[in-house]
Structure 1
Amino acid sequence: MPTDPLAPLLELTDVRAALDGARAATDAAMRHRALRRSGGPVAAEIALRTSVASAALETHGFDLEGVRAGVVTDPVVQGALRVTAALDGLTGTWPKAPRQVLAKLHTLAARDVVGPAELGRPQDPSVVPRLDALAALVAGATSAPVLLQAAVVHAEILALKAFAGPNGVVARAAARLTLIAGGLDPRGLLAMDVGHRSREPEYVGSANAFATGTPDGIRSWLRHFAAATERAAEELVDVCEKAGE
């Protein structure tokens, strides 16, 4: 039997415990009573918050209420909103044709940011083999916990600088799609990008550390991802509490 390529990452110091804690926080948040009667409005609010946070992580930060009111026309914000709206419809395709889905995510995210010839394709052919390897993971080459899979998908796309323009929006959307398709967050209720945004210096630093490929660098990123997931779960609870008032 071939060795699971992600299995060694679980043996890095504190990683398994951090991911287990993030999973427990997520499961607890998903049991909030408000989701039984206000699931739709909660999901819509989470979608807005995480889209705004993702754009902000691309240095396109705008006030949440301005985006809610529809007065923000910034193309990166609008692209992040389009991407989030598309995730549910891409869930079934993601494990079967991840490269196709990545192309779609980039087209949605960067439509008004880069030229038509750049949409949906890697900006450097040299990254294609690593994108293919990542696609193989998504398509079933690993049985690692879904949080670990999502963390690696996210960090790899960031490290590769795979797509022109708002590459980070694509990376974060692919990670969220992994959580949705993997069953941890089937309704897309985790405000993952709010979690990353709330720890932005750590997010940037640990992503750069992951790109070095060292065990310590990878461990730094995985611990960040777990902490961001816990913050995302807190955001879900906050939205649920407000919906229940």
Structure 2
Amino acid sequence: MSSDVFEPLSGLEGVGSAARAARDAVDVLLRDRGLRRVSSDVTAEALLRGAHASAALAGSTATPDDVRRGAADGLASGAVRMTAELMTLAPQVDTAPVQVWTRLHQLAAADLGPAAELGHLRTAAEPIPDDIPGLPPAPAAAEMWERLSALAQNLTRPTKAPGLVVAAIVHAELAALRPFPTANGLVARAAERCLLVARGIDPVAVTVPEGGHYLLRASYATGLTDYTERGLTGVRDWLLRSCEVLTKGAELSPLVSPAGHADGALE
């Protein structure tokens, strides 16, 4: 039996062609602008836009200007903190995924709960979190630990699946499992972004996939619910949505809109 659990998912109806089209959108962006000419300022701006969009999805009311001035609320401040380490964490996500996820939570939740909860995977003695509105209840701690362990093990194995598919599945699993007491949505979206970097889809992090999720926010909770409850049909629909998200994320890149457009789309 194959240990590549991601490849069959990339073969679901329409997913392969949609993933190629989304990858092409990113490749065109990088090729047209010249990968070697992408500056650290462009990456920083794309990550900042992503942080603002992810925080807005989590309920933050901070504006892009608030984020830039360092005057944001706890959700947005946590999202920004993750961006500061994301490019350092990304290379580790294929070898030490749980450590990466717990570090992301430490950064995301620093203003959202007690210090003892930072980077802490929940146990059976603790309440089941409900911090992503519209989703079915998260599984009990025992099931969460089992699925999280399996997900981490599968990430360390070779796969023939496109990196976009792997990233989208990790996002959905972390959102469905909600392994942390708080900030699970922020962590899930940052984990997806780490994998898009690590798997070579967007190695210089100049797209804004979180912005794509925000623009498609009307289908975010329903997409994750379908992923959880509708078997392979729900998984396929989530993957197709994720391909659209990445295409929109390329359109929101600072390489396309140096100022104004992406922020305006999120206000």
TM over 0.5: yes
Deviations 1:178-237 (Å, cap 9, x if unpaired)?
A: 11111221111121100100100112211111111511111111111000000001111x
Deviations 1:94-120 (Å, cap 9, x if unpaired)?
A: 211111111111111011212222221
* Structure whose residues are more often helix by fraction: 1
Query: Contact conserved, 1:32 with 1:240, CA < 8 A, in 2?
Result: no
Q: Which residue of 1 aligns with 2:229?
A: 212
Q: In structure 2, how many angstroms separate the alpha carbons of the residues matched to 1:33 and 1:18?
A: 23
2:247 to 206, 230, 233: 230
Q: 1:79–1:58: structure 2 CA closer, same or farther, 3 Å change rule?
A: same
Q: Moved runs in structure 1, 4+ residues, more than 6 A? A: none
Q: Which residue of 2 aligns with 1:93?
A: 92
Shift of 1:35: 5.7
Shift of 1:91: 2.4
Q: Which residue of 2 aligns with 1:56?
A: 56
Query: Contact conserved, 1:53 with 1:61, CA < 8 A, in 2?
Result: no
Which segments of 5 or more consecutive residues in structure 2 lack a partner in the other structure? 124-140, 260-267
Shift of 1:10: 2.1
Query: Contact conserved, 1:147 with 1:179, CA < 8 A, in 2?
Result: yes
Q: Which residue of 1 aligns with 2:132?
A: none
Deviations 1:69-113 (Å, cap 9, x if unpaired)?
A: 2332x1111110011111111123221111111111111101121
Q: In structure 2, how many angstroms separate the alpha carbons of the residues matched to 1:89 and 1:202?
A: 31
Q: Which residue of 2 aligns with 1:240?
A: 255
Query: Contact conserved, 2:90 with 2:197, CA < 8 A, in 1?
Result: yes
Q: 1:152–1:11: structure 2 CA closer, same or farther, 3 Å change rule?
A: same
Q: In structure 1, how many angstroms separate the alpha carbons of the residues matched to 2:38 and 2:99?
A: 33
Question: Residue type of the partner of 1:172?
Answer: R
Query: Contact conserved, 2:38 with 2:204, CA < 8 A, in 1?
Result: no
Q: In structure 2, how many angstroms separate the alpha carbons of the residues matched to 1:144 and 1:36?
A: 26
Shift of 1:243: 4.2
Q: Which residue of 2 aligns with 1:7?
A: 7
Query: Contact conserved, 1:34 with 1:241, CA < 8 A, in 2?
Result: no
Aligned with 1:77: secondary structure? helix
1:196 aligns with 2:196: no
Q: Which residue of 2 aligns with 1:69?
A: 69
Shift of 1:241: 4.1
1:82 aligns with 2:81: yes
Q: In structure 1, how many angstroms separate the alpha carbons of the residues matched to 2:38 and 2:11?
A: 39
Query: Contact conserved, 2:167 with 2:196, CA < 8 A, in 1?
Result: yes
Q: In structure 2, how many angstroms separate the alpha carbons of the residues matched to 1:219 and 1:45?
A: 31
- TM-score normalised per structure 2: 0.85
2:186 to 169, 174, 184: 169
Give me the CA root mean square deviation.
1.8
Q: Which residue of 2 aligns with 1:18?
A: 18
Q: In structure 2, how many angstroms separate the alpha carbons of the residues matched to 1:94 and 1:38?
A: 23
Question: Residue type of the partner of 2:255?
Answer: C
Deviations 1:152-175 (Å, cap 9, x if unpaired)?
A: 000000011111111011001111
Q: 1:35–1:146: structure 2 CA closer, same or farther, 3 Å change rule?
A: closer
Which segments of 5 or more consecutive residues in structure 1 lack a partner in the other structure? none
Aligned with 2:91: secondary structure? coil
Q: Which residue of 2 aligns with 1:115?
A: 114
Q: In structure 2, how many angstroms separate the alpha carbons of the residues matched to 1:167 and 1:84?
A: 16
Q: In structure 1, how many angstroms separate the alpha carbons of the residues matched to 2:145 and 2:110?
A: 21
Shift of 1:2: 2.2
Give the share of equivalent positions with the same residue, in percent.
38
Question: Residue type of the partner of 1:113?
Answer: L
